Amino acid sequence: MCEIKPGSGGEHYIPMEERSGNQSIVYFTRDLSAEGLLKIYRRVNGVIGGKVGIKLHTGEKHGPNIIPRDWVEYLIKSELPDAAIIETNTYYEGDRYTTQAHRETLKVNGWTFCPVDILDEDGTAMLPVLGGKWFTEMSVGKNLLNYDAMVTLTHFKGHTMGGFGGSNKNIGIGCADGRIGKKMIHTAEGSDNMWSIAEEELMERITESTKATIDHFGRHVIYVNVMRNMSVSCDCEGVAAQPVVTPNVGIVASVDILAADQACVDLVYAMKEEDHHDLVERMETRHGLRQLSYMKELGMGNDRYLLVDIDHEDTLITPVQAVEGVVPFAG
């Protein structure tokens, strides 16, 4: 039996001119507000219907950088009145480790204006992983199977182990259940270190987990990434997150997960060195860019795209043009 080995290159950024293949559409707005979120959501919501789950990182208690609750409430009440926020319990012990503790944290953080379905509260289910090399199936929260469509609403930011957290991380970690699925992703079999899998292998395992979920939903899933309060830390670090030093940018949305995450990475790289240094360093030192290349290898989307500026009559722009005029983060 051949030994499975991870790919490479997760520390290397591939510029647009070196990519090949088809192009997807990515919408962009600089309007970081409830109205901006609603406006860009309406550009990609045509595939959303039936029972809808909104995959959102609701954060640890008092987390300072999560997507503002009033934005999410405005979106739900305007467009998705029957939707539920969907989450899973954590792998690490803390304020979201058990369903009871998780629900208390949800109350503290104000996620009380709509149902919140903790997907693994009632157990787990296995979804097939097609074409993966680490998994043939992934364990997810059982209640995920109750939904017809998913809105992936992601706070784009850095991540301690993943380099960056975009739609891929939000789904791959966030839909895997807290005891089985997350262990499959993070822990080498037989290891006493629960975080023993890192760098390229971790990115590939996260991505295969994501593929299981988005294959389940087929065309009925969209990706909205909010580029605001982008600490190098994930929202799972709560009040212990590193201070934000990267400028706020805007919101991107697409029906292509790879294009959405790739566009966010490109927007970060398009900033001035002094503005993007910390976040770029986090991506590269964790080999997080392997998320993008592996999504492409698995046929999950395109890393080439047309960036549509919905603030200016759908003008096509470059990432450099999109970040012109961003102001240093003031805290």
Alpha-carbon span 93 to 182, nearest angstrom: 13
For the cut 70, the answer to whether the pLDDT of residue 220 exceeds it is yes
For the cut 70, the answer to whether the pLDDT of residue 237 exceeds it is no
pLDDT tens column, 104-117: 999 999 999 999 99
Residue 313 in any domain: the answer is yes
Alpha-carbon span 22 to 201, nearest angstrom: 26
For the cut 80, the answer to whether the pLDDT of residue 240 exceeds it is no
Alpha-carbon span 246 to 230, nearest angstrom: 6
CA distances from 209 to 23, 38, 138, 206 (A): 24, 28, 6, 5
Percent of the chain with pLDDT over 90: 92
Residue 1 in any domain: the answer is no
pLDDT tens column, 255-274: 999 999 999 999 999 999 99
Say how many domains are in the chain: 1
What does the pLDDT read at residue 330? 76
What does the pLDDT read at residue 239? 64
> How much is the average pLDDT of 151-155?
98
Residue 51 — left, alpha, or beta (φ > 0 → left; ψ -120 to 50 → alpha)? beta
More confident residue, 268 or 235: 268
What is the Rg, in whole angstroms, of the alpha carbon atoms belonging to the chain? Answer: 18
Percent of the chain with pLDDT over 70: 98
pLDDT tens column, 18-54: 999 999 999 999 999 999 999 999 999 999 999 999 9
User: Range of 286's domain?
Assistant: 24-322
What does the pLDDT read at residue 235? 65
More confident residue, 236 or 222: 222
Which of 79, 84, 67 has its CA nearest to residue 38? 79
The CATH number given to whatever domain includes residue 206 is 3.40.50
Residue 239 in any domain: the answer is yes
Alpha-carbon span 306 to 263, nearest angstrom: 9
Residue 19 in any domain: the answer is no
DSSP state of 124: E
Residues 6+ apart with CB under 8 A from 278: 158, 232, 245, 246
For the cut 60, the answer to whether the pLDDT of residue 94 exceeds it is yes
Alpha-carbon span 331 to 328, nearest angstrom: 9
Q: Which amino acid, one-letter code, is at 254?
A: S
pLDDT tens column, 116-135: 999 999 999 999 999 999 99
Residue 57 in any domain: the answer is yes
Using pLDDT thresholds of 50, 70 and 90, give the confidence band for residue 328: confident
For the cut 60, the answer to whether the pLDDT of residue 282 exceeds it is yes
What does the pLDDT read at residue 169? 98
- What is the pTM for the complete model shown? 0.97
> How much is the average pLDDT of 249-258?
98
Alpha-carbon span 232 to 266, nearest angstrom: 16
What does the pLDDT read at residue 149? 98
For the cut 60, the answer to whether the pLDDT of residue 1 exceeds it is no
Using pLDDT thresholds of 50, 70 and 90, give the confidence band for residue 77: very high
Find tokens 């950088």 and name the residue. Answer: 65
Residue 160 in any domain: the answer is yes
> How much is the average pLDDT of 4-24?
97
pLDDT tens column, 185-199: 999 999 999 999 999
Residue 8 in any domain: the answer is no
Average pLDDT for the chain: 96
Residue 139 in any domain: the answer is yes
